[in-house]
Amino acid sequence: MPLGYGKIISMYSLLELPSLLSFDRENFSTLSADPLCVSIDSRTVKPKDVFIAIEGVRYDGHHFCEEAIQKGAAAIIISNKKYLTKKVPCFYVKNTMQTLMFLAHQFRKRFTGCVFAVTGSSGKTTVKELLRHVFSEEYPVLATNENFNNQIGVALFLLSLDNFYKIAVVEAGISQEGDMDELSWMIQPDSVVITHIHPSHIEGLGCIENIAKEKTKLLKFSKKGADFYFHKDEKLLQETAKNFDVSFKEVDWEKSSLIKGYLSDWPVFMKKNAALVGFIAQYKNIKIEKIGNSLRTFGGVGRRFMSEMIHKVRFIDDTYNSNPGSLREGLRALASMSAKRVIVCLGDMGELGESAKEWHESIWQDIVLLKPDRLILVGKIMPHLYREKFSSLFEKDTTRLARRVDQVIPLWNEQLFPGDIVYAKGSRAIQLDLWMDHVKNHWRKTKKDSSE
């Protein structure tokens, strides 16, 4: 089974598990007073862990119960009677996923620190990591790993909470209606941060108004009077959140003294992320000098506008994912940079539903204004729009089109020059990270060969 946070110091003991699950404790007298540690991954089960058999799309955890027992699991939680056993204490429940979320909810209730919950159509992982980075200067901080932001990822994170930490930062990601209700119920945030509302996951969430509605449901189970941080220009968020009992904290990045004093050279979208984090940190009594100096040392988050200089060529890897809002931000940041030449590789944007073509077309104005010296388009929609409407605006020999990334990689024979910028962004399904890595390695090899 995939996933798993491993063994942690627990706020509950194994002895308390029967009561938590409404079972008679006397029937589970063999359970010890050891910490209650939960795993859903049989590969990483440690002795005395409790293994929960989650039924997923690709895996059924029940198939791994025996492996978990052999590795020393103290108990198992199942929802299929076929796997009842007397080898270890066995809890039969109606739904193991609901049980996992319930246990996470209980762990959160015993956590005495401050819980920040972060969501948004873009920038949520970056803001989460910025908060971790800045707050760790002053407090013990625990934050979700990478982008483990769905129900399973959030539940596993909450099950790793420990009152040694003073701050927990939880990223919440959704793709369909109802997801956020479950996440908010588990997290019960003290403070909520919503970064941006863009057309993302349109396929599962519908219109952009519904995206805002679903995102603001993170406030549903927040603590009474919880702080709600958002950008001043996100008017739709203000409207959809107006009926929640929260304290509105509006951030105007253009007036931020933090940005003016420390981060004036950052691209606009990163200034906005930093201003949001800086405002929160100042509100939590961290001095602006410490915030600014901390932000200056932030190394970024993998494949999210990650800049790397290799032999005087700047490679900007923005291939983690793409939606119309984040792509527009990336292209505009690129346009603000000085370069000898700009080479751009763009892939289709996913999960935009029936209006996918219109959303793709909406960002072409920014592509045209950028005037890239080389343009590579990968996917079904991007190349089609180019042929249909925009080919006359570009020199034919400066453009490459491909349906798949493995078709465009072998064609790369571009000579790079010091001062060039190479940028790539697309949906995860397009896998433009493979193209970016290939181009970087090709450039390294070219420079190495020329020096020998």
435: tokens are 């193209």
- Report helix, strand or coil for 285: coil
Domains 14-102 and 111-296 share a fold: no
Q: What per-residue confidence (pLDDT) applies to 57?
A: 86
The answer to whether domain 306-451 has CATH 3.40.50.2300 is no
Extended strands (E) in 261-413: 306-310, 313-317, 342-347, 374-378, 399-402
**Tokens 């909406």 appear where?**
362
The identity of residue 228, as a single letter, is F
The identity of residue 55, as a single letter, is E
Per-residue pLDDT tens over the stretch 18-44: 999 999 988 898 999 999 999 999 999
The fold of the 111-296 domain, in CATH, is UDP-N-acetylmuramoyl-L-alanine:D-glutamate ligase (3.40.1190)
What CATH homologous superfamily does 14-102 map to? Answer: MurE/MurF, N-terminal domain (3.40.1390.10)
Which residues on adjacent β-strands are paired with residue 167?
A: 114, 141
Which residues on adjacent β-strands are paired with residue 191?
A: 116, 227
- pTM equals 0.90
- What does the alpha-carbon distance between residue 14 and residue 49 come to, in Å, rounded to a whole number? 9
- What does the alpha-carbon distance between residue 70 and residue 47 come to, in Å, rounded to a whole number? 9
Per-residue pLDDT tens over the stretch 165-174: 999 999 999 9
Task: Beginning with the edge strand found earlier in the chain, give each strand of the sheet holding 374-378 in spatial order.
Answer: 306-310, 313-317, 421-425, 342-347, 374-378, 399-402
Contacts for 240 with CB less than 8 Å, ≥ 6 apart: 209, 212, 213, 215, 216
Name the nearest CA neighbour of 241 among 219, 211, 210, 209. Answer: 219
- Report helix, strand or coil for 444: helix
- What does the alpha-carbon distance between residue 280 and residue 277 come to, in Å, rounded to a whole number? 5
- The residue ranges of every structural domain in the chain are 14-102, 111-296, 306-451
- The parts of the chain modelled with pLDDT lower than 50 are 1-8
- What does the alpha-carbon distance between residue 277 and residue 126 come to, in Å, rounded to a whole number? 10
- What does the alpha-carbon distance between residue 278 and residue 134 come to, in Å, rounded to a whole number? 8
Interaxial angle between packed helices 151-158 and 179-187, expressed in degrees from 0 to 180 and rounded to the nearest 10: 0
Q: How crowded is the C-beta side of 200, counted as CA atoms within 13 Å? A: 26
DSSP 138-161: TS-EEE--TT--SHHHHHHHHTT-
- What does the alpha-carbon distance between residue 417 and residue 302 come to, in Å, rounded to a whole number? 25
